[in-house]
Every structure is written in structure tokens, then in C-alpha cells.
Amino acid sequence: METRAHHILIGLFTVLIVIGGLLFGIWLAKAHSEKEWNYYDVVFNEAVTGLSRGSAVQYNGIRLGDVNQLRLDPNDPRRVLARIRVSGDTPLRTDTHAKLALTGVTGVAIIQLSGGSPGSPLLVGHDGEVPIINADTSPLAKLLSNGEDLITNISQATARANELLSPANVHRIENTLDHLDKTTGVIADEREDIRSLIKQLAMATQQANDTLAESKALVHNANGLVEGQGKATLQSAQRAMASLEHSMASVDRLLNDNSDALNGGAASLGDLGPALRELRDTLSSLRSITRRLDENPSGYLFGREKTKEFTP
């Protein structure tokens, strides 16, 4: 009986020690937990699809906490309040930014923290309130909110692609490719003729260029001749014409002044009339030559008459 009593006391003492150790460990863990975590409220002005309690909170890609609570703002149900906890040694500052993000290929939504310059003050609450971080607009939220429209557009595009690739259109495409293959085959068979045609075109182009160069040279020479000899001839004819006009004026004046004497001696001066008529004819011929030189000097000098324009 005495030995059994000792065993009972020893067992009871051992149980009490274990229970005390567990209670001490729980208290120590609770105290340690309360000292190691800081709590913040992240305010989202958009849907937080995919975010749930326990989702990770990362700072520049490093997990430093998790989402402790999700709820709607009682004053504005369009906003979502996410209570997060991060390690106590994480330096969150007043210019720290938060946004909704995805982790890798798993597609799990998380809260991504970034920013926070060293010169900014630490983010702390006032009057015992939890500090607030206003989240930035996330492209992920826009994508998730517009996911239904995106799927609809993809479905419509797929339907149109199926219509485009209908059996009738596929048959037309096959015929087009067959005709294209035949056309390229014909071109390949006639490539020698095509090469010959290209060579002939090149030769014709060269000949046309040579002809054009010769024409330019001929026009240049003709212009030089007209500007040189033709101009000199025209000037000489003009001087002769002026001299003849002066002489004719003198003769007319002489005839007018001596008309009585000429009338009295007309019998002895019978040869003077034909000479004067010949002089007048010569003067008319010189006037005609001068006029033709003025109108078409190159045609008159080289024997090419100027083409007359037809006026309807």
C-alpha cells in the first residue's frame, strides 16, 4: 500500500509539472506573439477577388505576414478593409504602398507592400487605432472585374474564327493556293522568255536614252546656230533694210521736189521708171526676208517651215 501511494504521488506531481509547463509555454507564446506582430488596416476601393483570410502579405517579394480579417467598411460598402499583421521589425512608413497581386503561376491573391523611403516617419496609429494604408488601384482587380467581358470577347472571336475556317472557305483557300502554285509553275517555265524580255526592255531603254541625248545635242547645236549666225544674219538684214528705207525716202523726196522737171523731161528719162520699180521690188523682197527671219529664224535658215497651227 505504501509503495502504491508513492507511485500515485509521483504520477500526480509529474502531471502537475507537465500542465504547468504547458500553461507557461502558452503564456510565453502568447506574450511573444503579441510582441512580434504589428496590425494594419489596408483599405481597398475595388473588389479583392481571390483574397481571403490567411492570404500572404509580402514586402518587396518577401512574406512578412498574412491577412487576419476581411470585412466591408460599415460606412461605405464599396470599400474593403483588410486587417493584416506583419512582423514587428518590419519598417512600414507613411509612404508605404499596398496593392492586390498574384503569386507566380498559382494565381493566389496576396497583398503586396512596397515603397517607404528611409526619411519618412514610421506608420503608427493614433489613440490606440490601427494604422491605415490606402491601397493603390491594381491592374489585377481590373482584369478580374472585366473577366466576364474578356471571356465573352474570346468566345466571339473563337466563333468568328470557326466561321472563317468553314469547309467552304477552306475549299476556296485550297483552290486559291492551287491556282497560285500553277501560276508560279508557269512563270518558272517561262523564266528564259522573261529574262529575254527584260534584256530587250533594257536595250530599248538604253537606245531611248541615247536618242534623247542626241536630240538634246542637236537642239543645243541648233540653238547655238540660231543664237550665233542666225542672229548676225538677221541684224545684217535689218541694217540693210534700214539703209534701203533711208535711200528710198531720199529718192521719194527727190522725186517730189523735182516732179515738174521730171514731167517735162519724161521722154528723155523713160528708163528712170523701170529702175524705180525694180528698187521698190527689191525693198519689198528685203522686207519679206526680214519678216520671215523674225517669225521663224531657224526654219528660214535651215529650210524648215514653221508648222502652222490650225484654229477651228
- pLDDT value, residue 148: 58
Specify the pLDDT at position 157. Answer: 81
The pTM of this model reads 0.41
- pLDDT of 133 reads 92
Per-residue pLDDT of the chain (312 residues; tens, 9 = 90+): 556 556 676 777 787 888 888 887 777 666 555 557 889 999 999 888 888 898 999 998 889 999 999 999 999 988 999 999 998 888 888 899 999 888 765 668 889 998 888 888 888 888 878 899 999 887 766 665 565 566 677 777 887 877 777 788 878 888 888 888 888 877 777 777 777 878 888 888 888 788 788 777 777 766 665 566 556 666 666 776 777 677 677 767 766 766 665 555 544 445 556 666 666 777 777 777 667 666 666 565 555 554 554 444
pLDDT the model gives residue 312: 46
Give burial (CB, 10 Å; 0-12/13-18/19+) of 87. middle
